[in-house]
Amino acid sequence: MPMPATAIEAMILEAMPDATITIEDLAGDGDHYRAIIRSSVFSGKSRVQQHQLVYAALKGKMGGELHALALDTAPK
Amino acid sequence: MSNAAHDFIADTIAKNDVVLFMKGNARMPQCGFSGTVVKILDHVGVDFADVNVLADMSVREGIKEFSNWPTIPQLYVKGEFVGGCDIIREMFETGELKEFLAEKGLLQDA
């Protein structure tokens, strides 16, 4: 079951309200996305930790409902 | 996670300097993301052990919990979780991956 980009954006924003988020639907199928996220919560964190914060925000949907979400994260 | 899966994962990353948990094997990846990481590792010229998570459901689920990371592939270097496909690709593009592996003494030509 694909997940709409707006739902992904809303979940990330809920966890990191200051985030600037751009989501691209890579294949146009609502199933393969790339998210570019800039947020102050990433400051001082390794890339692994930054991505873990995003996965935590998505509450288990990543790897399940959400099949492919490429991440580009950096501090704001 | 079962003890057997946990022990297998812990043991594998302890015994091998570079381990890629992937879908399929290095010769025949069964997922584009896994294939990308294999190509990158081959390109930088590092030896690695491959673990096909599709061969064992308990390892496939177990590695996600072990690393607190929801997706496959996953790369471990000297027992440390380095990242998934996006991170490895980014590190490769910036030259950081080669530097990191060289620092760990894992590149022959370094």
**Domains of chain B (ranges, CATH numbers):** 3-103 (3.40.30.10)
User: Which residue from B64, B87, B91 is facing A51, i.e. has the nearest CB?
Assistant: B87
At B110, the pLDDT band (50, 70, 90 cuts) reads very low
- CATH code at A15? 3.30.300.90
Does residue B70 have a cis peptide bond before it, meaning omega lies within 30 degrees of 0? Answer: no
Q: Is residue B108 over pLDDT 80? A: no
CB of A70 closer than 8 Å to CB of A54 = no
pLDDT number for residue B109: 62
B82 and A63 within 8 Å at the Cβ level: the answer is no
pLDDT tens readout for residues B1-33: 789 999 999 999 999 999 999 999 999 999 999
| Paired tokens of A48 | 């692994």
Q: How far apart are CA B19 and CA B104, in angstroms?
A: 14
Range of the domain at A18: 5-75
pLDDT tens readout for residues B36-70: 999 999 999 999 999 999 999 999 999 999 999 99
pLDDT tens readout for residues A5-54: 999 999 999 999 999 999 999 888 878 899 999 999 999 999 999 999 99
Q: Among A65, A75, A71, A73, which residue's Cα sits nearest to residue A7?
A: A65
Q: How far apart are CA B77 and CA B14, in angstroms?
A: 10
Q: Mark which residues 9-68 of B lie under 8 Å from A by CB.
A: 33, 64, 68
CB of A54 closer than 8 Å to CB of A23 = no
Into how many domains does chain A fold?
1
A51 and B68 within 8 Å at the Cβ level: the answer is no
Helix, strand, or coil (residue B30): coil
- Tell me which chain B residue has its CA closest to the CA of residue A67: B71
At A1, the pLDDT band (50, 70, 90 cuts) reads low
- Centre a 10 Å sphere on the Cβ of residue A15 and count the other Cβ atoms it contains: 15
